Structure 1
Amino acid sequence: MTPTITASFGSFETKAAPAASGVAGPEPWLLEMWGAVPALAGPAVTPASAMSCMPVKAAVELIAGALGTVPAGIFRSEGGGKTLDASHPAHPLVALDACPWMTAGKMREQLTTDALLTGNGVARANVVEDRVVELNPLRPGQVDIEFDPITTEPHYRVQWIGGSEVLRHDQVMHVSAPCSLNGVSGTAPIVHARQAISLALALEAHAARLFARGGRPSGLLRLDQHATSDTIKQIGATWSALNAGDQSGKTAVLPKGVLFEQLGLSSVDAQFMELRTFAIHEIARAFNVPPTLLAELSKSTLNNSEVLGRQFVQFTLLPWVQAFQDAYRRLLIPVQDRQTYSVIFDLDDLLRADSTARAALITALRSTGSATANDVRALQGLPSRPDGDRLENPYTTSNAAPAANPAPSDD
């Protein structure tokens, strides 16, 4: 039986069947299918509408931009340490160019942006003679992630013009958002933060409308005598034309018998800035980004800003770095070589402290014999020196005379 909706009009009722879900009145399931997450406070949250929210834009650009600028490369394990191997066939795909028209850093930035806004970032591997020669990012709406019902192995259905193609998991580079319900497909942070994002958009729209009216709430026009509905509409239209928008602030001239009474700010309007700050903090929690890095500096100090910057690297970027390292390793390094070769991201520049603290670290490394002069020079990006491989302490000198050669025996 088809359900009905009952609507009351005065003293009688009429029953009508619900309207079908469509573009004019989409239901929540239809919105979610097209990437639009419904919200209560304001518009539905889509990747496009979310990026029009300044805190979301700042968080996405911060995380994606950091991952796009971090140096990465193929390293070989030898002598208990790891050495950069620029001669490895996959090194250019990690450190230089992912494909002829996109650098490796720009591809990481794009995949991270896709994962933050849609949950998944996917690139197709172009394989020639059993070797990956380039990585081509795919648009988020172009890829559907499916699972084998028996082995649960994922495969990727790519929609092309005029058909589709199914790719195995070893034919794509897949980076998902940290939150995943099945271990493969990620859930975008904008899905979890849809109410906060929608609230921020609604508050921004409210502020725009408020200042479009001159930065003041509307008022009442009181008439001291009875007027027809047409007269009331005419007076209201004349008032809006002469005193609203760009005309606000001018001297108002009222006809006889009309009195303007301005309304005061409500409690919600009085706490407007607090509500906007709250929305920024909620979005920052969803993206796991310190609010100070989203330019919310109300509670920032010199000390906690430095600590929060390190926490951003440790707790926000490291999960993404690990996800990229794992994706590169699965795709670019054969199973038999994974004990020898690995993909490593260099986060030293992001963790670098001020010059005083860095000088103290270098002094400690040298005085304890933990690093040579060439090790320290490498940290500073300086070339090595022929005499820089000794682990002696340069801050102490020995006054002891060298041991004399023993006298020859008569035997």
Structure 2
Amino acid sequence: MFLKFRADADDGDRSPWGSFWFSPIPFKGAPHQVTGDAAMRLTAVYACVRVLAEAVSMLPFVLYRESADGSKNAEKTHWLYRLLAVRPNDFQNPMEFREMMMMHLALRGNAFAEIIGNSAGIVTDLIPLHPDTITIEMLSKTNWRYIEHLPDGTERIITRGSMWHLKIMSPDGIVGMNPIQASRESIASGLAAQAYGLRYFENDATPGGWLEYPGEFKDDQQKRNFRESWQEQQSGRNRRKTAVLERGMKYHPIEVKNSDAQYLETRKFSVSEIARLFRIPPHMIGDLEKATFSNIEQQSLEFVIHTLTPWLVRWEEAIRCAFIDADEGLNCEFPTTTLLRGDAQARSLYYHNGILDGWMTRNEARLMENMNPLDGLDEPMRPLNMIEEDEAETQQQNPQQPPGSQQQPDAPDDDGPTQARMHALAAAAADRIARKEWEALHLAVMRKESLTDFYDKHCRFVSAVLGVSEESARAYCRAQHEYVIENRDDITDKQFADIAGMRLQRLALRGSYEPLTTRI
């Protein structure tokens, strides 16, 4: 039993002018003769296939090993990473290989690559094969082999384990459905409209005409002779020359407007039909008729989520099934983060919220923007008004050692649980405000802002978070301003956190600012 999906357009002529190498234009065939190569003559089909092929081929390939805690450790020395991210074979780079395979998938519904391995069982090359040259021979209901039809007329058998087969929707689970054949009528109508336009403009946009003769020709031979003479005088280099009519003849041009034939509407509908077939937003193939500035960005995101992601998952699952053992602990993906970043303002807001909410570090944001990491930016930040439960319990048990300080502020003698809880909360809030102040101070210095203006704004923040009067918060900010001015050349993160934490904790517990009697 054979499942064939070879093109019927090839008549076997391999000469330089044979149909094996090219097909004549315009398209003059029935819908069942529409092949992937013929469909590519439509610019809409070419654009859709190109969008898909380039989108898949330009994404990075990531191979990683998953830890028990869910962390991902990149594997760049594994043979599979070298195969798909460095060099799939001797004559293609990774982008060319994936682009070719994706083009086969989009036009034929199937993509094939022969697996070449060494004596150690490691795959060294993936050789892509054209789907039109492959036939599948069923050996049983669940087993088959591949037959490659070579240009010299011979055949070569490839076992199932030696072929990497990617396919799209399949009614039998063996051969993917050809999208061009499934929509051949729509594509054939587009090709027919394109061929009509070509013929129309080749004829100087004039359909032709007819001659009115009041008499009669003596016989059919005389009529044919006159027609051939007329065509010779009015075609080729004689086109548009003045005609001389005799015996009362009149020339009547045929006037057929493209609007009457709905030509332009047919071409536009063909573009929409093809975009619908490949699920490509029309603006990505140059159709901006219904696009607006407000919906293009949303359509681009929908392209990544609803169009590109299913293709990428199909690739990832095919790689896992063919090359990764279930117990090996490896996984792979084609990350699309860069395609979902949006504009500069959206990215800035994304990083800002991620860093302040604590689920992204500053170095992670720098890496996403292709900037090198900096020392001291690997720790996640936490919101000022939140505290983890285990930290609160630790501070309740040891209230004399709040985080970020070396000296405990003066406190009443009452060591009851309520007082301990107040000390723990005050220490946690002070530590977070101090860290926030240090980060904001760094940004102010980088932006060359005035420290006076910075602390004028910061005092309102301190007053709101600690629930103290603005006058007390302002006194704290004045003291901090003086401390920064005096020690700006040699101050360290720890020294700043100690001083600010002590002052803020005293301010939170007493409700009013009192200067420190001991310097740290």
- The TM-score by the shorter chain falls in which range? 0.7 to 0.9
Which residue among 94, 99, 105 is the counterpart of 1:109?
Answer: 99
RMSD: 3.0
Instruction: Please say if 1:125 is aligned against 2:115.
Output: yes
Instruction: Please say if 1:165 is aligned against 2:157.
Output: yes
Counterpart contact for 1:214–1:249, Cα < 8 Å: no
Relative distance call for 1:199 and 1:171 in structure 2 (3 A) is same
* 1:276 corresponds to: 267
Aligned to 1:392, the other structure's residue is in SS state: coil
Q: Which has the larger radius of gyration?
A: 2
Q: Match for 1:167: what amino acid? A: T
Instruction: Please say if 1:46 is aligned against 2:7.
Output: no
* 1:370 corresponds to: 359
Counterpart contact for 1:35–1:118, Cα < 8 Å: no
Which residue among 282, 287, 292 is the counterpart of 1:291?
Answer: 282
Relative distance call for 1:251 and 1:364 in structure 2 (3 A) is farther
Aligned to 2:116, the other structure's residue is in SS state: strand
Relative distance call for 1:300 and 1:251 in structure 2 (3 A) is farther
Counterpart contact for 1:159–1:165, Cα < 8 Å: no
**1:339-397 CA deviation, whole Å, 9 max, x = no partner?**
x2111102122223111111111111112111001110111122211111121269942
Instruction: Please say if 1:181 is aligned against 2:221.
Output: no
* 1:304 corresponds to: 295
Instruction: Please say if 1:219 is aligned against 2:318.
Output: no
Q: Measure, in 1, the Cα distance between the counterparts of 2:139 and 2:36.
A: 29
Q: Measure, in 2, the Cα distance between the counterparts of 1:304 and 1:261.
A: 50
Q: Which moved more, 1:359-368 or 1:252-261?
A: 252-261
Give 1:216 shift: 2.0
* 2:501 corresponds to: 402
Q: Measure, in 2, the Cα distance between the counterparts of 1:165 and 1:40.
A: 33
Instruction: Please say if 1:358 is aligned against 2:398.
Output: no
Q: Measure, in 2, the Cα distance between the counterparts of 1:279 and 1:240.
A: 35
Q: Relative CO higher for 1 or 2, CA cutoff 8 Å, sep ≥ 6?
A: 1
Name the structure with the higher strand share: 1
Relative distance call for 1:39 and 1:215 in structure 2 (3 A) is closer
**1:109-140 CA deviation, whole Å, 9 max, x = no partner?**
11111122222101111122121122111221
**1:171-206 CA deviation, whole Å, 9 max, x = no partner?**
322111x32112231112111121111111111111
Q: Measure, in 2, the Cα distance between the counterparts of 1:192 and 1:62.
A: 20
Give 1:249 shift: 4.5
Relative distance call for 1:109 and 1:267 in structure 2 (3 A) is closer
Q: Measure, in 1, the Cα distance between the counterparts of 2:293 and 2:205.
A: 35
Q: Measure, in 1, the Cα distance between the counterparts of 2:131 and 2:354.
A: 47
Name structure 2 gaps, 5 residues minimum.
Answer: 11-26, 384-434, 439-461, 463-475, 477-499, 506-520
Give 1:91 shift: 0.8
Q: How does 1:129-148 map to 2 (within 5 A)?
A: 129-148=120-139
Give 1:32 shift: 6.8
Which residue among 92, 96, 105 is the counterpart of 2:82?
Answer: 92
Which residue among 209, 228, 238 is the counterpart of 1:237?
Answer: 228
Aligned to 2:66, the other structure's residue is in SS state: strand
Q: Match for 2:345: what amino acid? A: T
Give 1:41 shift: 5.9
Q: Measure, in 2, the Cα distance between the counterparts of 1:62 and 1:156.
A: 30
Q: Measure, in 2, the Cα distance between the counterparts of 1:389 and 1:196.
A: 55
Counterpart contact for 1:148–1:154, Cα < 8 Å: yes
* 1:335 corresponds to: 326
Counterpart contact for 2:363–2:378, Cα < 8 Å: yes
* 1:391 corresponds to: 380
Counterpart contact for 1:64–1:112, Cα < 8 Å: yes
Name the structure with the higher helix share: 2
Instruction: Please say if 1:325 is aligned against 2:316.
Output: yes
Q: Which moved more, 1:64-73 or 1:139-148?
A: 139-148
Counterpart contact for 2:53–2:100, Cα < 8 Å: yes
Aligned to 1:124, the other structure's residue is in SS state: strand
Relative distance call for 1:252 and 1:369 in structure 2 (3 A) is farther
Give 1:218 shift: 1.7
Relative distance call for 1:249 and 1:39 in structure 2 (3 A) is closer
Identity, in percent, stands at 27
Q: Which moved more, 1:106-115 or 1:389-398?
A: 389-398
Q: Match for 2:7: what amino acid? A: W
Q: Measure, in 2, the Cα distance between the counterparts of 1:377 and 1:35.
A: 54
Q: Match for 1:290: what amino acid? A: P
Q: Match for 1:58: what amino acid? A: A
Output the TM-score relative to the length of structure 2. Answer: 0.65
Q: Measure, in 1, the Cα distance between the counterparts of 2:246 and 2:30.
A: 40
Give 1:156 shift: 2.8
Which residue among 65, 68, 75 is the counterpart of 1:76?
Answer: 65
**1:220-246 CA deviation, whole Å, 9 max, x = no partner?**
111121124344334433443344466
Counterpart contact for 1:284–1:291, Cα < 8 Å: yes
Aligned to 2:170, the other structure's residue is in SS state: coil
* 1:34 corresponds to: 7
Q: Match for 2:354: what amino acid? A: L
* 1:7 corresponds to: none
Q: Measure, in 1, the Cα distance between the counterparts of 2:437 and 2:238.
A: 82
Give 1:267 shift: 7.6
Relative distance call for 1:32 and 1:257 in structure 2 (3 A) is farther
Q: Measure, in 1, the Cα distance between the counterparts of 2:301 and 2:163.
A: 32
Name structure 1 gaps, 5 residues minimum.
Answer: 1-30, 406-411
Counterpart contact for 2:145–2:157, Cα < 8 Å: no
**1:43-71 CA deviation, whole Å, 9 max, x = no partner?**
82122212222211111111112111111
Q: Match for 1:136: what amino acid? A: I
Counterpart contact for 1:155–1:166, Cα < 8 Å: yes
Counterpart contact for 1:39–1:198, Cα < 8 Å: no
Aligned residue-pair number: 371
* 2:338 corresponds to: 349
